Amino acid sequence: MLVKFDIYFDGEFWCARGMGVDIFTQGTTLDELMQNIKDAVELHFEETIDAGEQITVVSLTELQVGSIAKISGC
């Protein structure tokens, strides 16, 4: 089974919204968010996983690109 997530930074947290599934989670870093996505998917699809089906997560991430001076506020 393939589960897709839209990932974005809301100014304070990294957020992940499931596409076609009712899952939403967030984290203070991308690494924390990815772990939270894994945990949320395992809980949401617990019965499916227990039945032996493997879940694959695909993420679409939005990033802003700009000069270092603009990003850091210098």
The CATH number of whichever domain residue 33 belongs to comes to: 3.30.2390.10
Residue 13: domain span:
2-61
Q: What is the pLDDT of residues 11-54, one digit of tens each?
A: 999 999 999 999 999 999 999 999 999 999 999 999 999 999 99
Q: How many CB atoms lie within 10 A of CB 40?
A: 19
* Residue 42 covered by a domain: yes
SS3 62: coil
Q: What is the DSSP letter of 63?
A: -
Would you state the pLDDT for residue 14?
Answer: 95
Let me know the angle formed at the C-alpha of 44 by 57 and 8, rounded to the nearest 5 degrees: 50
Domain assignment present for residue 69? The answer is no
**Structural domains of the chain, count:** 1
pLDDT, position 26: 97
pLDDT for 71 equals 53
Q: What is the pTM of this model?
A: 0.81
pLDDT value at 66 more than 90 = no
* 68 belongs to a structural domain: no
